Amino acid sequence: MTREEQLLAAMVEAVDTLVDDFDLIDFLHQLCDRCNELLDVTAVGVMLADPDGRLHLIAASDEHTRLLELFALQTDQGPCVECHRSGTARLNIDLHSPAQTAAFPRFAERARQTGFTTTHALPMRLRQQVVGALNLFDAREQNLSGSDAQVAQALADVATIAILQHRTIVHANIERAQLKAALSSRIVIEQAKGILTERWNTDLDTAFYALRQHARTHQHKLTTLCQQLIDGTLDTTAIRRP
């Protein structure tokens, strides 16, 4: 594949995240592969932040990089950590330069031990929202060109959109499931109210009050209690009539 075809393939993979069975972990590992191919770097890592802002390693191109990224998280230092905090890219960092690694000496030493010479960190950001960082490592003394830096940021941006879209879909699915469960529960409760109303020859409000009081007193879920009443596993005589 030509470079243009590889870049197009990466964009298509991001579009495929709109399907219901999208696998986020697999997508981010594919992102690592695409960065290796398009940018000719030695290794790639992807970190994402949880709702509390804590970074977590989600994908890495190899085991050595995974361990290095975990070290960065444990020590809370490194270009990736700084990149996520600031939302700005850190490019062409010479890991042998004390001046460039003064803010993260322990990480730089561990990276050198891993075999890396140069590193780059790009924010995974959409407008003001930073969801993580894309980290590139190279065992050779070579910088990213201006065009390569643009490609790297484009890949990070596309991945960010895919991640946020996935979160939106997941959140929407959760809300739909919660609404469906609430509607189902409402039907069960109305049926139980009807049973009590008929057997006690009372009104619906009295029946509902009795069901709620019984559920609270015996520390049962209201829906579970009502379902037991409908199934006949709970006799109406067990419920105290107001």
Is residue 170 predicted with pLDDT exceeding 70? yes
Q: Residue 163: its pLDDT value, please? A: 82
Same-domain pairing of 96 and 33: yes
The contacts of residue 84 (CB under 8 Å, 6+ apart) are 47, 49, 55, 123, 130, 132, 133
Same-domain pairing of 164 and 185: no
Give me the chain's average pLDDT, please: 87
Number of domains present in the structure of the chain: 2
Is residue 20 predicted with pLDDT exceeding 60? no
Same-domain pairing of 85 and 198: no
Pairing type for strands 129-138 and 118-126 reads: antiparallel
Same-domain pairing of 164 and 210: no
Q: Per residue in 31-77, pLDDT tens? A: 888 888 888 899 999 999 988 888 999 899 999 999 999 999 999 99
Same-domain pairing of 223 and 149: no
Q: Per residue in 194-208, pLDDT tens? A: 999 999 999 998 998
Q: Per residue in 135-155, pLDDT tens? A: 999 999 989 999 899 989 988
Q: Residue 80: its pLDDT value, please? A: 94
Is residue 225 predicted with pLDDT exceeding 80? yes
Is residue 82 predicted with pLDDT exceeding 90? yes
Same-domain pairing of 139 and 166: yes
Closest CA to 107 of 95, 90, 117: 95
Same-domain pairing of 82 and 199: no
Task: Specify the CATH number for the domain of residue 188.
Answer: 1.10.10.10
Pairing type for strands 129-138 and 43-49 reads: antiparallel
Distance CA 200, CA 198 (A): 6
pLDDT, average across residues 226-232? 91
Q: Residue 167: its pLDDT value, please? A: 78
Q: Residue 109: its pLDDT value, please? A: 96
- Written as one string, the DSSP assignment of the chain is --HHHHHHHHHHHHHGGGSTT--HHHHHHHHHHHHHHHH--SEEEEEEE-TTS-EEEEEESSHHHHHHHHHHHHHT-SHHHHHHHH-S-EEEEETT-TTTTTT-HHHHHHHHHHT--EEEEEEEEETTEEEEEEEEEESSS-PPPHHHHHHHHHHHHHHHHHHHHHHHHHHHHHHHHHHHHHHHHHHHHHHHHHHHHHHHT--HHHHHHHHHHHHHHTT--HHHHHHHHHHTSS-GGGSPP-
Is residue 238 predicted with pLDDT exceeding 70? yes
Q: What's the pLDDT band for 165 if we cut at 50, 70, 90?
A: confident
For the chain, the residue count is 242
Residue ranges making up the domain that contains 218: 181-238
The dihedrals phi and psi of 136, each to the nearest 5 degrees, come to -115, 140
The dihedrals phi and psi of 78, each to the nearest 5 degrees, come to 135, 160
Q: What's the pLDDT band for 17 if we cut at 50, 70, 90?
A: low
Same-domain pairing of 157 and 220: no
